[in-house]
Structure 1
Amino acid sequence: MRRGIAATALMASFALAATACGGSDSGSDKSDGPVTITWWDTSNATNEAPTYKALVKEFEAANKDVKVNYVNVPFDQAQNKFDTAAGSKGAPDVLRSEVGWTPAFAKKGYFLPLEGTGALKDQSKFRSNLIEQAKYEGKTYGVPLVTDTLALVYNKALFKKAGITEAPKTWDELKADASKIDAKAKVYGYWGSTQAYYAQTFLYGEGTDTVDASAKKVTVNSDAAKKAYGTWQSLFSGQGLHKADVTADAYAHIQDAFVNGKVASIIQGPWEITNFYKGSAFKDKSNLGIATVPAGSTGKAGAPTGGHNLSVYAGSDKAHQAAALKFVNFMTSAKSQTQIALKNSTLPTRDDAYTAEVKADPGIAGFQTVLPAAQPRPALPEYSSLWGPLDTELPKIAGGKESLDKGLSNAELAIAKLVPDFSK
């Protein structure tokens, strides 16, 4: 999951308006010519998209009967734009869909069930937990393309300079390490995020979540959640701990500081590996440390399972669906996933794509080790939307504009409206 990539130029909206004509509206194809399908790729336009564009060309060269209208859609806009486009029967034939979007779009009938189609003919090659993430009410609505989770990424040289030989295993250890780094290396030891997705690690460390889906209960203001967010809040003040950045460009600020050696550790995902390597601090790739996120008071550590599937629009006509399914199978093949991993340093979703060359990338190898701590998200259609209220309240709390109790109370009320059949 790629989070916090901010705002997009107005031209992107115009481009989408012109290209959101997939599905049965792609009717300009001649009966004796190739079928043209539209693919909305939600990857980073600078770091990841070139690899996907190259694969599109490979696919077209090998499949003369299909043309792909490639459109890069900013991740932070894609969910709403697809929802709008599908609602007006003008969605793209294929969507690179964040794993958390599956339940909502499947419930609305926007995604095509893939059982028995060519898109899933290699199903046994994929990691079973990732196939489960692509399901809703027993049916599979996407083919896993890349997977990810969050980890504590750190600058080994700065830790060594402070006399620290291993990554912290608890948040208290992280605080102690940050103080040492500040004193000896003269840089911040840790810089936290105010985004709800990143704060999930604290909830999992206390054995809770924003909601308990099985009990149909809102738990964001429970005692366990208060403890989790209290720990999160405490990491914005103290020696070696950077204060909260509540600006619109916070994500970029944190990232820039880390890659240039101005802060020793942050919580981040593998989608930023290629950016890490571009920074002055990680010209030597081996200086990048990757560890499981620190554990909470339960003694357990956890981070959300993220990643992206390729899903096919149910509103496309049969010819476009057939072409889309062929395209999805190609893009999620072992060969394609290996190429994506080598170029983008992202994690494949099938075991046969983890070649020796792929595993030689220290970033990929490092994130592989933290995958066991990744927590699956409940198959709740509203789940991804639950972070919205927290993305409003958490910056206020971290910035001192609102108390923790008030902020969580506000979030609880807002979340309760999103899941009206849940109790508080």
Structure 2
Amino acid sequence: MISTWLRGIALSVGLAGLSAACQPLWQSSDRVPRPAIVKLSGWGASPVEKRLLQELLKEFEQTHPGIRVRFESIADRYMDVLKTRLIGDAAPDVFYLDAVEAPFLMQANVLEPLNSYISKDFDLEDFEPNLLKIFRTGETLYGLPKDYSTLVLFYNKRAFRVAGLQEPPLTWEQLSSDAKRLTLDRNRDGRPEQYGLGLAPELARLVYVIQAYGGRAIDDRGYASFAEPEALRGLQTIADRYRVDRTTVLPSDVGSSSGSDLLGQEKVAMGIEGSWAVPYLQENFPALEFGTAEVPRMNGRPGTMAFTVAYAMNRRARHKPEAWKLMAYLTGKAGMRKWTSSGFALPTRRSVAQLLRYDRDRLRSPFVRGVRYATPWQIGRYPSPIMTAFDNQFLSALLGEQSLQVALRRAQESANRQIRAVQ
């Protein structure tokens, strides 16, 4: 009797446990599915950029309730961290991809091709072609540029009036002449109170100068070629303004932190800067009366640089359809309009630039006009050794430690030696 009773109790408990275990299965159709988590990585940004991105991501989640976005800001050594994670299968689903780093990753088979995701209503043709091609290999598209800047000439209108100059220069010959008139009397230390032009001695800002007389920063194989005679002609023009005319100054020469500071502190009357300088000058130097114009033509050719960053998708992303929805939202017309409405960066969609009237804005229209002929900042699969070698040796030549020809030959040899070592 007792054993029969115990067996009955055990059977009842077992059935109750089985019933409890099966309960979620009976109710599973009523449960809300867990949202997909899309991981997005980028780098640190200004407070304005952070706020805008947070607002965009919040709006995206509200309109896509089945998706949550987890944003990670990588503050230091962004590309090194990203490459390590891509190799180790710990990379985000979507991430920022700078144009200068794109060639290496596009050839490394770690990026998801985007062609199959793009529908007609996404209107890919609306993007600036010169920016979109940066993230293509053949017909395959690997990234969607989210914003951009070109370089333009900033000029101090008050300094121009004092010097009797009516308009900004249209050619480098005019710029050189104007810079002499704008360079004021020297102080006790021998330096001018105001220089004509501020200079950033970086390859990132000078590739269009190399190209002005038919030169190239890199050859068809991806090796540095900036020491060739055609490349030297344009760069010599820059060096002469600094070494011979002494109408040009580096930020470090006068204790400034950047070209924007040189302009704001009125240590120079002209400078060649990107769109980031517009809000910086307006916020930090509200009394400064400045204008912008397209970079003066060199050797009869228009030229400037284009800097851009794309959203790219990890080839091994865990939630590819959801990752694409995020990319499409951020680079769609509504998302891009909100992202670029403050003016700190420019929209890569032409329709958005027109909607925000940047193509007619007195300060931003030169940036927009320049994107059609700008040289994208992209120098092959191995940009780091090329940049480092050029920047170090070009500065050495500016300081008079060696001739420009010798300096750039050494830079070219050093960069190519490093490239051969890693191929």
TM-score calculated relative to the size of structure 2: 0.81
| 2:218–2:380 Cα contact (<8 Å) kept | no
SS at match of 1:38: strand
Deviations 1:323-379 (A, max 9, x none): 211110000011121122221432211122124444364332231122233124678
Max radius of gyration: which structure?
Answer: 2
Equivalent residue letter for 1:167: P
Question: Match of 2:41?
Answer: 40
| 1:60–1:67 Cα contact (<8 Å) kept | yes
What's the offset of the Cα at 1:186?
5.1
| 1:141–1:311 Cα contact (<8 Å) kept | yes
Question: Match of 1:267?
Answer: 272
Query: For residues 352 and 222 of structure 1, do their structure 2 counterparts lie closer, same or farther at Cα, with a shift above 3 Å needed?
Result: same
Question: Match of 2:77?
Answer: 77
What's the offset of the Cα at 1:113?
0.4
Distance in 1 (alpha carbons) for counterparts of 2:205 and 2:216: 13
| 2:304–2:370 Cα contact (<8 Å) kept | no
Deviations 1:159-201 (A, max 9, x none): 2221111222333322221221223895222110111111223
What's the offset of the Cα at 1:418?
4.9
TM-score calculated relative to the size of structure 1: 0.81
| 1:302–1:374 Cα contact (<8 Å) kept | yes
Distance in 2 (alpha carbons) for counterparts of 1:216 and 1:355: 37
Summarize the alignment of residues 350-365 of structure 1 with structure 2, pairs less than 5 Å apart: 350-359=349-358, 361-365=361-365
Distance in 2 (alpha carbons) for counterparts of 1:355 and 1:218: 38
Distance in 2 (alpha carbons) for counterparts of 1:265 and 1:177: 10
Equivalent residue letter for 1:106: M
Summarize the alignment of residues 47-196 of structure 1 with structure 2, pairs less than 5 Å apart: 47-74=48-75, 77-118=77-118, 121-183=122-184, 187-196=194-203
Distance in 2 (alpha carbons) for counterparts of 1:41 and 1:300: 36
| Paired residue total | 383
Question: Match of 2:309?
Answer: 308
What's the offset of the Cα at 1:413?
0.8
Structure 1 unaligned segments of length 5 or more: list them. 1-29
Structure 2 unaligned segments of length 5 or more: list them. 1-30, 186-191
SS at match of 2:297: coil
What's the offset of the Cα at 1:255?
1.8
Q: Percent identity?
A: 20
What's the offset of the Cα at 1:311?
0.5
SS at match of 2:116: coil
Distance in 2 (alpha carbons) for counterparts of 1:44 and 1:204: 32
202, 207, 225: which one aligns with 1:200: 207
Equivalent residue letter for 1:295: R
| 1:119–1:329 Cα contact (<8 Å) kept | no
Distance in 2 (alpha carbons) for counterparts of 1:179 and 1:43: 39
Query: For residues 216 and 334 of structure 1, do their structure 2 counterparts lie closer, same or farther at Cα, with a shift above 3 Å needed?
Result: closer
Structure 2 residue 242 is matched with structure 1 residue 236 = yes
After TM superposition, what 4+ stretches of structure 1 lie above 6 angstroms from structure 2? none
Distance in 2 (alpha carbons) for counterparts of 1:177 and 1:154: 11
Question: Match of 2:293?
Answer: 291
SS at match of 2:182: helix
Structure 2 residue 260 is matched with structure 1 residue 258 = no
Query: For residues 265 and 46 of structure 1, do their structure 2 counterparts lie closer, same or farther at Cα, with a shift above 3 Å needed?
Result: farther
Distance in 1 (alpha carbons) for counterparts of 2:162 and 2:62: 52
Question: Match of 1:210?
Answer: 217
SS at match of 2:184: helix
Question: Match of 2:339?
Answer: 340
Query: For residues 216 and 73 of structure 1, do their structure 2 counterparts lie closer, same or farther at Cα, with a shift above 3 Å needed?
Result: closer
Distance in 1 (alpha carbons) for counterparts of 2:398 and 2:104: 30
Query: For residues 336 and 259 of structure 1, do their structure 2 counterparts lie closer, same or farther at Cα, with a shift above 3 Å needed?
Result: farther
Query: For residues 119 and 150 of structure 1, do their structure 2 counterparts lie closer, same or farther at Cα, with a shift above 3 Å needed?
Result: farther
Distance in 2 (alpha carbons) for counterparts of 1:85 and 1:283: 47
What's the offset of the Cα at 1:34?
1.6
